Amino acid sequence: METKLSNKGAGRNPHAGKSPAGRVSRRLFLVVMLCLGLGSGVCSRFVAQPRTQSGTGISKDAAVLNVQGQRGGRLVVGITAAPRSFNWVIANDSASRQVTYQLLGDLIHLNRATQQIEPALAKSWQVSKDGLVYTMRLREGVHFSDGHSFDADDVVFTFQVYLDPKVNSTQRALLTINGQPLKVEKLGPLTVRFTFPQAHGPAERAFDVIGILPRHLLESAYREGRFEKMWTLAEDPKNVAGLGPFRLQKVVPGQRVILERNPHYWKVDGRKNPLPYLDELLFEVLPDQNAATLRLVSGDIDLLDKVLPTDYEFLKKSEADKGISLINAGPSLQYLFLGFNLNNSVNPATQKPYVDPEKEGWFSNVNFRRAIAYAIDRSSIIKLVYHGTAHEIFAQTSPSNKFWFNPKIVRYDLNLSRARELLSQAGFRVPSSDGVLRSPSGAPVEFTLVTNADNRERTRVSSLIQSDLQPLGIQVKLQAVEFNALVGKLTQSFDYDAVIMELGGGDDDPGAEMNVWLSSGPLHVWHVGEEKPSTAWEARIDTLMKEQMTTAQRAARKKAYDEVQKIVSEELPIIPLISRDVVVAMKKQIGNLQPVVIAPYALWNSEQLYLKH
């Protein structure tokens, strides 16, 4: 999954205004819905493994999980948007993907807790020496939730559908490299061979987001060109089958979706008891996050997989007397940043520069950007805006990213003296007569900082930054616009000075960041539409990002991406500020709940959850 601009946490409804405007590509929109925290959210997930992988403690027909729990009960989960479809292949809204995630199984799975890949429907696989060919052995005795047997034909059919451009799958880009699709072949009833057109670093990770489809239920519709009309909300639940822990039981459009345990699920616990433990998983659709919070406190729902900073203190006070627990999984994979417009191009429509040349001179000066970074009080942002539920960052990778995070980067702890020193080195001066910072040309330094009006946290962060820069003599004007208009400014009109925005997704792999860090990327936010790198360090980032995508060697990928993070912290094309924490609220009687920072945050191990009697 690629990185996406996020509007998560806007006001009381985190689903408001998530659609990009204008020419922002469909692919950009679909990309990290995970960024919205609700989809399975992985594009190019990958952790390199030995050339042969096999499961540990795997019986002939089931995966044994070292867990214990009690059977029975219904778990009620509050969601603030209704799903639109159960067709995972084409679903592009986060609510649909959150629900459908529970219905489907994958060949190779990303363990959201360990952030490592592990065998799933493929119990083992081998990789050729050149890294191009993956030969997978499927599990025996596995059945879909309707009882129909699973085999290699289902796998081949699944990838045929995902790769078909007529279907327009949200995952097709993950399976196509430089315009060449992945090749899939059946070698036997339970053996499948995948051939990549070239070595691809995130290869194994791509399989996590490909939900395997039942050929016996969908092949006819696919052949007849009706696939995109399948598995709507009006579908008879008996016609929807998957390999996940739950299956569809009932839908009340706009109100709730009820899933029941899959009696044919292929995983068992340490005592060989079949999973999942829960009898039902109910998704209750609520009007907004405020309503969801109140319903949790009143006892009507059992679980919220995201808690807004504005609700954190309220829920914290309710823990003791309402039987509620708040669990902080740590900083998310998204990051809030301050970005300056570094677009030095000329608008062909007006024949004028997109950015005022005077301001462009300031913004493009790395010491100016570093001074701003030193002047921002991140600790106050965390305390006053996020109520302690955020972590400061100084490059694009969250410290929760267990493997890829590079701690050896430049830090910008609050230091106004250092900020003034850097501005002085860049030729800026503060005359004693007016206390206004002036550029080398004598112009007063002022700029407009824009963010989206419907996101309460970002508007407050903007106000704090405005105050933080006043001691330097910098005048910041605030502008708040609708989210789609903001995306249009960033990606089309380039009509802005500076922006507060959030990037990120549901993926910990650097492959998901290609659309940001490549100079040609559609989310190269400081200069979208760059024909070639404007600086030597941008060219170096291009080289490193391409290198880590074309090698299967984990150590080599890590070394390349470590350098990318170091360059970002030194050159500050964007100024990373904080990563919001993933906070889950739940009733205390839920067992085996282990929230994580990769979506789905609370239900990634739903087959293990149980209700304490």
pLDDT over 90 (residue 168):
no
| pLDDT at site 3 | 74
Q: Decide the pairing of beta strands 256-261 and 280-285.
A: antiparallel
Sorted by sequence, the CB contacts under 8 Å of residue 374 that are 6+ apart come out as 412, 413, 414, 415, 416, 418, 419, 422
Residue 274 in contact with residue 607, Cβ under 8 Å? no
What is the Cα–Cα distance from 423 to 375, expressed in whole angstroms? 11
Same domain, 82 and 109: yes
Give the DSSP per-residue string, 327-369: EEEEE-S-EEEEEE-----EETTTTEESS-HHHHHHHT-HHHH
pLDDT by residue (tens digit) across 174-195? 788 888 999 999 999 999 999 9
Length of the chain measured in residues: 613
Same domain, 368 and 401: yes
The band of 12, judged by pLDDT with boundaries at 50, 70 and 90, is: very low
Main-chain dihedrals φ then ψ at residue 285, nearest 5 degrees: -85, 125
Same domain, 324 and 346: no
What is the pLDDT of the chain when averaged over all its residues? 89
| pLDDT at site 8 | 65
| pLDDT at site 61 | 57
Same domain, 325 and 460: no
pLDDT by residue (tens digit) across 387-415? 999 999 999 999 999 999 999 999 999 99
Quick check: helix, strand or coil at residue 111? Answer: strand
pLDDT over 90 (residue 364):
yes
**Per-residue CA distances from 260 to 106, 272, 468, 612 (Å):** 19, 20, 53, 18
| Burial environment of residue 176 by CB neighbours within 10 A (0 to 12, 13 to 18, 19 or more) | middle
pLDDT over 50 (residue 36):
no
Main-chain dihedrals φ then ψ at residue 568, nearest 5 degrees: -60, -45
What is the Cα–Cα distance from 245 to 243, expressed in whole angstroms? 7
Quick check: helix, strand or coil at residue 135? Answer: strand
| pLDDT at site 7 | 73
Find where tokens 């479809």 sit. 85
- Segment among 74-78, 84-88, 203-207, 285-289 with least mean pLDDT: 203-207
Question: What's the one-letter identity of residue 403?
Answer: F
The band of 428, judged by pLDDT with boundaries at 50, 70 and 90, is: very high
For residue 185, count other CB atoms closer than 10 A to its CB: 13
Same domain, 227 and 324: yes
Same domain, 21 and 163: yes
Average pLDDT over residues 459-486: 97
DSSP H helices, 526-579, are 536-549, 554-571
Helix (H) or strand (E) holding 127: strand 122-127
Range with top average pLDDT, 167-171, 425-429, 504-508? 425-429
Same domain, 350 and 277: no
| pLDDT at site 58 | 32
Residue 457 in contact with residue 334, Cβ under 8 Å? no
Q: Considering only CA atoms, give the Rg of the chain.
A: 25
pLDDT over 80 (residue 20):
no
Residue 305 belongs to domain with CATH number = 3.40.190.10
| pLDDT at site 206 | 85
Average pLDDT over residues 413-418: 98
Residue 363 in contact with residue 424, Cβ under 8 Å? no
What is the Cα–Cα distance from 285 to 270, expressed in whole angstroms? 34
DSSP H helices, 135-174, are 152-163
pLDDT over 80 (residue 327):
yes
**Per-residue CA distances from 115 to 110, 111, 205, 433 (Å):** 6, 5, 11, 57
Same domain, 375 and 250: no
b/e map 568-592, b = 16+ CB within 10 Å: bbebbbbbbbbbbbbbbbbbeebbb
DSSP H helices, 443-534, are 456-469, 483-488, 514-517
The band of 26, judged by pLDDT with boundaries at 50, 70 and 90, is: very low
Residue 305 in contact with residue 30, Cβ under 8 Å? no
Same domain, 78 and 195: yes
What is the Cα–Cα distance from 89 to 477, expressed in whole angstroms? 44
Same domain, 316 and 409: no
List 267's β-bridge partners, or say none: 63
Main-chain dihedrals φ then ψ at residue 492, nearest 5 degrees: -130, -60
| pLDDT at site 46 | 25
Average pLDDT over residues 403-428: 97
In this prediction, what percent of the chain has a pLDDT beyond 90? Answer: 77
pLDDT over 80 (residue 204):
yes
Q: Pull the structure tokens for residue 2.
A: 């690629």
Residue 519 belongs to domain with CATH number = 3.10.105.10
Quick one: the chain helix, strand, coil %, rounded to 5? 30, 25, 45
Looking from the CA of 185 toward its CB, the CA atoms found within 13 Å total 9
Looking from the CA of 12 toward its CB, the CA atoms found within 13 Å total 9
pLDDT by residue (tens digit) across 518-533? 999 889 999 998 889 9
| Burial environment of residue 428 by CB neighbours within 10 A (0 to 12, 13 to 18, 19 or more) | buried
Sorted by sequence, the CB contacts under 8 Å of residue 280 that are 6+ apart come out as 73, 74, 75, 249, 258, 259, 260, 261
pLDDT by residue (tens digit) across 98-129? 999 999 999 999 999 999 999 999 999 999 98
| pLDDT at site 15 | 36
Tell me how far apart the terminal alpha carbons of the chain are, to the nearest angstrom. Answer: 39
What is the Cα–Cα distance from 43 to 506, expressed in whole angstroms? 8
Q: Can you state the angle between helices 416-425 and 366-375, rounded to 10 degrees?
A: 170
Total structural domains within the chain:
2
Same domain, 311 and 341: no
Average pLDDT over residues 301-316: 92
pLDDT by residue (tens digit) across 44-80? 222 223 333 333 333 345 789 999 999 999 999 999 9
Q: Which of 374, 526, 390, 370 is nearest to 458 (CA)?
A: 390
Same domain, 560 and 605: no
pLDDT over 90 (residue 16):
no
| pLDDT at site 318 | 86
Average pLDDT over residues 485-499: 95
pLDDT over 70 (residue 274):
yes
**Per-residue CA distances from 421 to 418, 569, 572 (Å):** 5, 18, 17
Q: Which domain holds residue 142?
A: 4-331+582-611
Helix (H) or strand (E) holding 137: strand 133-138
